Structure 1
Amino acid sequence: MTTTVDNAHPITDVTSTLGTLIDDVIRPQATTVDREGVFPRQGVDALAAAGLLGLASSTEVGGGGHGMRVVAAVVERLAAECGSTAMVVLMHYAATAVIEAHGPREVRAGIATGGHLTTLAFSEYGSRSHFWSPTGTATATDDGSVRLDARKSWVTSAGEVDSYVWSSLPVTLAAGPMTLWLVPAGSAGLSVTGDFDGLGLRGNGSRPMTADGLRVPSTAMMAADGAGLDTALGAVLPWFLVLNAAFCLGLAQSAVAEAGRHVTRTTLAHTGAALRDAPVTRRDLARLMIRTDALRAFLGDTLTALETGRDDAMLRVLQVKALAGETVADVTDGAMQLCGGSAFRKELGLERRFRDSRAARVMAPTTDALHDFVGRVATGLPLLDEANR
């Protein structure tokens, strides 16, 4: 499991462009996206136009050719400002990892140049967070096409993207546990079947979808029939878990920064003292900072393990989202407590970050599942039981 090594200059160039977009588009709209639960279309389109959605695409098809470290830096910055936008981008890059490896050149080129937005469609009503056990079916037809039928429970950017990396049972059931397909948006038989009114990430458009007699050509299959789980574990999972950790880091860092500003500038009229003048306040802020910096260090080590092909790379990938999910939940909760009643007002933006942070624990693979995976890898067991494959 390896990823491209990035030097400092591409990161500087990318984050400079991103900073402008954050100031001009993403930050000004973050409150509206959250309050109204609307998809952050203007911000996503601005990121695409600036080339920031094709960062990991090959230079061969016009992409940036960057590795995971650069993309993680982008997700982190976005999460600090608008969790919904960051999640849309995160899922786009997780799906792009499959398309880069197995998708058609024209779609790869569309992603590279910002003209194609994609996402994953793995979670199903029948298997819930166990994405590795799809229940949706793929059936060969007499005309050579394949019929897909499924009820997907959560699809980020549902109805907003140009394609879906879609999971199903294999066409030939003996072939393996899962097959992946590239499903174009607007396909006959594909529909969004509900709305999203969530606690957090309210603009990420994570809605249920149904495939009812959806037909795709056999060439829509990505990798071999039945090989989808190996592709999901080898190509998708590292990007998904690492970028989730970057997402959590951005939320945590922004919460700590806001808490620090609040305790510095807020004074007590009857004493003239700032909140920061109390040792207990400084101690609590320091604890939040240390937790966040520890996550940053662990994420950095995970990226290094991937870039250098270290033996513990898979273990680090599994650990990093579990650590990040717990860290961001604790840090945003601590920031809320540190800022007291002021944190419950929307002006600080802390309550939005607190709500957005809750998603990391329950997004598949959940924290509980990751703890089990880590324990299995650490004790020499396969990642999944054969019964689950």
Structure 2
Amino acid sequence: MNNIYNKMLDFAKSNIQPYTQKVDEEAKFPVDSFEAIKKDKITGLIVPKEYGGQGLGLEEHTQTVLAFASSCATTGLCYMMHNVATMCIVAFGSDDMKKEYLPKIANGELLLALAFSETGTGTHFYNPEITVSKDGDKLLMNGRKSFVTSALYADFYLVLSNSFDAEGLDNWIIQKDLKGITFEESAWDGLGMRGNASMPMVFNNVDIDISNRVGPAGSGAEQVFNVVAPFFVIGLGAVYTGVALNACNTIIEYSMDRKYSDESALCNIPTVQNHIAEIFTKATSAKHFTLAAAKSGANGDADALAQIISARLNASDMAVEVCNKAMKIGGGTAYAKRITIERLLRDAYAAQVMAPSTDVLSIWLGKALTNQPIP
């Protein structure tokens, strides 16, 4: 592993960790952390060097998300989605689009997000119902996206729609303050991941320009499965691996600090030692699996997609299992929310339902392993 992971861990300790508790308690987007991310121009991690970025790829994306999520899952997730949206422009944007957006992203001026999920299609976000129609010389977008993470805080959103002039889907980059766009601000009160600012985004006759279409007409599905899927799915694996590692480190430290009246520590109890061994093994296995899958994807291995999906599934399970076991070690102190295990457990539960859900991904993995088309 190169030094990007350790560098980002140090960044997170100074610029993400101090705000994590407040983000959860107040269910507020991690503004302070993202101001630091922008200031250090980490928004340009995967922007090509010719546009002022760092020119890095899937491995470094995964390592950075993992490092951020080891302090705050919300920050890791929102940053991951920014990178996914950026990668769509890198891979499919026209020369003019790249020149317009990528230097500003690289310079920390713009934060991007994804507006894909809809109530009518749920976790199958690649089947949008939102429409773009031609009205004279205008293109009008209408519909409602249900869970838009970083809503209100991102500057631009990638919006998936049915194509108005081709078979298939289109992907659009849409500025947040266009006339006709509203956000249902009171809609997000998550069990965990409380700083996500995930809320519905409504489009009411929003006048959009053809120049904001990312890639050729009808290329939206190709973008979803060739760009969004690998960066997003491995990114989620990194987020929930970060949750598992955070819980592991927290409970090990607690078990050493928790003293009884005879001055023995909680970690001196053999049963606790067994639990700690299991927790460490599961959290560390998720880390190595996730990073190895990212490397497989970066190398273009034949089974890279299967590796990426299975790493995400594994991390999702490990996060919940590690947090459950850590809660048992923490006992009443953990249950009373005196240490962070309770928050991490709530964050971990999101792994099962966040689109594409673990059930959907399991089907995709079965198809990938038997040479069937996805979805």
Instruction: Place the TM-score, normalised by the shorter chain, in its bin.
Output: over 0.9
Out of 314, 338, 341, the residue aligned to residue 332 of structure 2 is 341
Kindly indicate whether the alpha-carbon contact (under 8 Å) linking 2:73 and 2:240 is maintained by their aligned counterparts in 1. Answer: no
For 1:347, what is the secondary structure of its paired residue? coil
> What is the deviation of 1:211?
0.5
Out of 154, 164, 175, the residue aligned to residue 171 of structure 1 is 164
Out of 321, 332, 345, the residue aligned to residue 330 of structure 1 is 321
Query: Once the two structures are superposed, what CA deviation does each residue of 1:304-324 show, in whole Å capped at 9, x if it has no partner?
Result: 211221110111122121111
> What is the deviation of 1:272?
3.4
Superposition pairs of residues 316-327 of structure 1, within 5 angstroms: 316-327=307-318
Kindly indicate whether the alpha-carbon contact (under 8 Å) linking 1:21 and 1:46 is maintained by their aligned counterparts in 2. Answer: no
> What is the deviation of 1:33?
1.0
- 2:115 & 2:48 partners in 1: Cα distance? 23
Show the counterpart of 2:103. 109
Q: Which amino acid aligns with 2:255?
A: V
Superposition pairs of residues 124-273 of structure 1, within 5 angstroms: 124-143=118-137, 145-172=138-165, 175-176=167-168, 178-195=169-186, 196-269=188-261, 271-273=262-264
Query: Once the two structures are superposed, what CA deviation does each residue of 1:72-93 show, in whole Å capped at 9, x if it has no partner?
Result: 2221121121222222111111
- 1:22 & 1:47 partners in 2: Cα distance? 10
For 1:219, what is the secondary structure of its paired residue? helix
> What stretches of structure 1 move > 4 A for 4+ residues in a row?
none
> What is the deviation of 1:255?
0.4
Show the counterpart of 1:31. 21
- 1:76 & 1:101 partners in 2: Cα distance? 23
Percent identical residues: 29
Query: Once the two structures are superposed, what CA deviation does each residue of 1:145-199 show, in whole Å capped at 9, x if it has no partner?
Result: 3211111110001111110000011113x612x2111111101111102321111
> What is the deviation of 1:19?
4.7
- 1:97 & 1:318 partners in 2: Cα distance? 19
Q: Which amino acid aligns with 2:113?
A: T
For 1:175, what is the secondary structure of its paired residue? coil
Show the counterpart of 1:3. none
- 1:292 & 1:313 partners in 2: Cα distance? 22
> What is the deviation of 1:246?
0.9
- 1:219 & 1:311 partners in 2: Cα distance? 35
Q: Which amino acid aligns with 2:226?
A: G
> What is the deviation of 1:25?
3.2
| Structure 1: 5+ residue stretches without partners | 1-6, 385-389
- 2:309 & 2:20 partners in 1: Cα distance? 30
- 2:66 & 2:53 partners in 1: Cα distance? 21
Show the counterpart of 1:301. 292
Show the counterpart of 2:44. 54
Show the counterpart of 1:387. none
- 2:282 & 2:163 partners in 1: Cα distance? 43
Kindly indicate whether the alpha-carbon contact (under 8 Å) linking 1:136 and 1:149 is maintained by their aligned counterparts in 2. Answer: yes
- Within the alignment, does 1:96 sit opposite 2:86 as a pair? yes
For 1:81, what is the secondary structure of its paired residue? coil
Kindly indicate whether the alpha-carbon contact (under 8 Å) linking 1:194 and 1:209 is maintained by their aligned counterparts in 2. Answer: no
Kindly indicate whether the alpha-carbon contact (under 8 Å) linking 2:45 and 2:54 is maintained by their aligned counterparts in 1. Answer: yes
For 2:70, what is the secondary structure of its paired residue? helix
Query: Once the two structures are superposed, what CA deviation does each residue of 1:112-137 show, in whole Å capped at 9, x if it has no partner?
Result: 11100000100011111111110111
- 1:122 & 1:139 partners in 2: Cα distance? 18
- 2:150 & 2:287 partners in 1: Cα distance? 28
Query: Once the two structures are superposed, what CA deviation does each residue of 1:243-276 show, in whole Å capped at 9, x if it has no partner?
Result: 111111111011011111111121221x432111
Between 33-42 and 337-346, report the one with greater CA deviation: 337-346
For 2:363, what is the secondary structure of its paired residue? helix
For 1:147, what is the secondary structure of its paired residue? strand
Kindly indicate whether the alpha-carbon contact (under 8 Å) linking 1:124 and 1:150 is maintained by their aligned counterparts in 2. Answer: no
- 2:359 & 2:10 partners in 1: Cα distance? 38
Between 283-292 and 75-84, report the one with greater CA deviation: 75-84
- 2:16 & 2:32 partners in 1: Cα distance? 8
Kindly indicate whether the alpha-carbon contact (under 8 Å) linking 1:124 and 1:151 is maintained by their aligned counterparts in 2. Answer: yes
Kindly indicate whether the alpha-carbon contact (under 8 Å) linking 1:48 and 1:113 is maintained by their aligned counterparts in 2. Answer: yes
Superposition pairs of residues 364-379 of structure 1, within 5 angstroms: 364-379=355-370
- 2:288 & 2:16 partners in 1: Cα distance? 27
Kindly indicate whether the alpha-carbon contact (under 8 Å) linking 2:13 and 2:71 is maintained by their aligned counterparts in 1. Answer: no
Q: Which amino acid aligns with 1:113?
A: N
For 1:316, what is the secondary structure of its paired residue? helix
Q: Which amino acid aligns with 2:370?
A: T
> What is the deviation of 1:21?
4.0
For 1:348, what is the secondary structure of its paired residue? coil
> What is the deviation of 1:297?
2.0
- 1:101 & 1:320 partners in 2: Cα distance? 24
Q: Which amino acid aligns with 1:266?
A: R
Show the counterpart of 2:70. 80
> What is the deviation of 1:138?
1.0
Q: Give the CA RMSD over aligned residues.
A: 1.5
- Within the alignment, does 1:279 sit opposite 2:270 as a pair? yes
